[in-house]
Chains A and B, each alone.
Chain A
Amino acid sequence: MVLLTYLLLSGLTTGSLYALIALGIVVVNKATAVINFAHGELFMFSGFVAWMLHVQWGVPYLPSLLAAVAFGFLLGAMTDLIAFRPLKNANIISLVLATIGIAFMLRGLARVVWGGKGDYLPFPPITSPEPLMIGDIMVIPQQLAVLAGAIVIMVLFAAFFRLTRAGKMMQATADNAKAATLTGMRVDRIYMLSFGTGAAIAGAAAALMAPLTLLYPDMGFAFFIKGFAAAVLGGLTSLPGAVLGGILIGVIEALAGGYLHSSFIEVSAFIVIMFVLVVRPTGLLGFTGVRRV
């Protein structure tokens, strides 16, 4: 029981970070029908911005996190301007290649700016690194803080998406871009907002994740793969699906590692994904593009 509690908390924490990354991927995909392959690098870059502010310049953690979010938004908007807008009428392969190009560029830039300061950069714990005992259960304050932070970000995003004018315009564009254009919406701006919002969520995930792991310029792809897997599991068109997919992957990895063997950590989630996609190709909460007329 004690082991199960540890594993569930760890899985939920990691899964909530996967969920945030997946949310960013889905936001962009819903609006533009493009998978942003630079998403992992946007995540990485924002993490380094948080590190630079908090560790190098001594800025408190919360403002550093907010700055990472803002910087993520800017980077996402720039990705739209450089890689999506000029090519939006090109074929999908050109769009994918453009985002891959952005990914390589950001990775190279990070190596120049933050490489050579040691192989991997640590981010200090945001709470005490020592565990707390509550009865027989060991609780790790660091994980609780990250989990709480991820939940707050998800709630804020849901509120933004459902309650604000910008969020509603993003929904409308995602549902039908042509109709949105006909109603007078400036769809290009909505696309930019989608790229920016997706990257801002990735920035929040990076700043939350940094104290749990280490930062290095090549880290983006590994996290992108996990986030992408979560998005596919949940359904690439479903925002709640992205959250569900991320949490499921985090929990499956933790339970497989704890109860089976650590060699199952990396493959367990993908086995489940393969099974789910065979049974339900659109993912757990995804849907096909059937429209009622």
Chain B
Amino acid sequence: MTLKQSLKIGVASLFMAVAVLQPGQAQVPGVTRDSIKIGSFGALTGPGYLYGKLPMNGIEVVFDQVNAAGGINGRKLELVREDDRCDPAAAIGGVKKLIHEDKVFAIIGGGCSNATFAARETLIEAKTPVIIMASVHDGITTPVSPTIFSVALTSTIESQAQLQFALDQGAKRIAVISMRDAWGRARYTPLIEAFQKKGIKPVLDEEMAPDANDATAQVLRLKAANADAVLILLYPKPAAIFMRDAQKLGFKPLAIGQSGIADPAAFEDQVGSPGATASFRTISMVRYTPEDPAVDSWRKAIEAKFPGDRLSVFNLFGIGSAEVMVEGLKRAGPDLTQEKLVAALNSLKDFQTAVYPGGITCVEADHRCNKNPAWIAKEPGKPVRVLGITKVE
């Protein structure tokens, strides 16, 4: 080998070594010079697809817009989807696949609470930054994990907001009707704590089974207690039975739901008794209904990318969470690392999105970044409308 050849090989080796070692991004999972791979998990099939597939569709239209504008620091966003079917085991498996096989940089996901809660430990171990898009279970964000952020309302925040809304509406005799299964208790316990913090007691505290077919006894007791507002911690089906029986028995309190009954129009149909839901109010994670002209551009984007789909409130969940991720990625800068993304998300303070009712604020001690439920209602024969926003401290 001549000196010239040796020099050529030496220079080539040096370049190769630089190519391998120099760009830190090569060692960062899911990041190349021109792309960032973001994972998502949630139900793509089965009835839970509302909380999985539809938000993911929303994420994709945000990513398309960002990519059309040149990406983030020259990198295009790429979404990888995993179907957890709302099943805890499938969620754990899906998250492992995203992290270890697809090697995603970060995740926006989490539809059904039970599945997301089951995947929490896997997410914490992998230290992959995560933004929860729809799951409300408190256990996902509490105790705080350094890498898990949520832009979904949690059940505690919703319960506090329910009580606050009742008080803001001037209710003096507030009662509770709840299910006492795991879902119901996750809301009931913080609600009772919220009552205690305010120094008040519910005038009546009633129970209803998830498969109950009659609520006459509960309605009669609430009516006898002269409750002027009822905080409803029920699934849509028992809540619909309750509203029907309340109407039958002439009991018309302010009925205050939560995001388990997120669509007042569908709820009105389910109750199926004209006028029975006239005084029903419920929580929405976003400040617009799908019919609102303010979300026309999103409607067009969804309908163009997913022909046959109509804009849904669940699409908006995905749009909001994707906007937060995009902002985090921008703030993390061109030399992208997962640690920088986590730091960037922790720096979000009153960040305004196109859909959430209030600003998104994340701090290291509290990753429940959305604490601003919107209140929506539907009067008979009229469209769903947004009544206002409650800020939960």
List residues of chain A with CB under 8 Å of any chain B CB: 3, 6-7, 10, 14, 118-125, 129-131, 138, 140, 142-143, 209, 212-214, 216, 219, 222-223, 253-254, 256-258, 261-263, 265-266
Contact B269 A122 (CB under 8 A): yes
For B217, give its contact among A131, A138, A265 (CB under 8 Å). Answer: A265
- B192-219 interface mask toward A, CB cutoff 8 Å, 1 = contact, 0 = none? 0000000000000011110111101110
Contact A262 B218 (CB under 8 A): yes
- 19 A-B contacts, Cβ less than 8 Å apart? A3-B220, A7-B216, A14-B213, A119-B270, A122-B244, A131-B248, A138-B250, A216-B237, A219-B211, A257-B218, A257-B221, A258-B220, A258-B221, A261-B207, A262-B207, A262-B218, A262-B221, A263-B180, A265-B212
The chain A residue with its CB closest to the CB of B269 is A118
Whether A122 contacts B237 in the complex (CB less than 8 A), given A10-B214, A138-B249, A142-B248, comes out as no
List residues of chain B with CB under 8 Å of any chain A CB: 47, 177, 180, 206-209, 211-214, 216-218, 220-221, 224, 236-237, 240-241, 244, 247-250, 266, 269-274, 276
Given contacts A121-B270, A129-B274, A130-B247, 7 further A-B pairs with CB under 8 A are A3-B220, A7-B216, A129-B248, A131-B248, A140-B249, A219-B213, A265-B212
B216: chain A residues at CB < 8 Å are 6-7, 10, 254, 257
Contact A214 B240 (CB under 8 A): yes
CA distance A129 to B213 in the complex (A): 16
Contact A212 B214 (CB under 8 A): yes
CA distance A3 to B19 in the complex (A): 83
For B214, give its contact among A124, A213, A256 (CB under 8 Å). Answer: A213
A258: chain B residues at CB < 8 Å are 217, 220-221
CA distance A219 to B207 in the complex (A): 20
For A129, give its contact among B180, B218, B273 (CB under 8 Å). Answer: B273
Contact B249 A122 (CB under 8 A): no
Rank and list the top 8 A-B pairs by shortest CB-CB distance, nearest first.
A122-B272, A257-B217, A10-B216, A213-B213, A263-B207, A262-B206, A258-B217, A222-B211
Minimum CB–CB distance for B75 against chain A, Å:
40
Contact A120 B218 (CB under 8 A): no
A10: chain B residues at CB < 8 Å are 214, 216-217
B220: chain A residues at CB < 8 Å are 3, 6-7, 258
A6: chain B residues at CB < 8 Å are 216, 220, 249
CA distance A3 to B248 in the complex (A): 15
Looking at A7, A10, A143, A262, which has the most chain B CB atoms within 10 Å of its CB?
Answer: A262
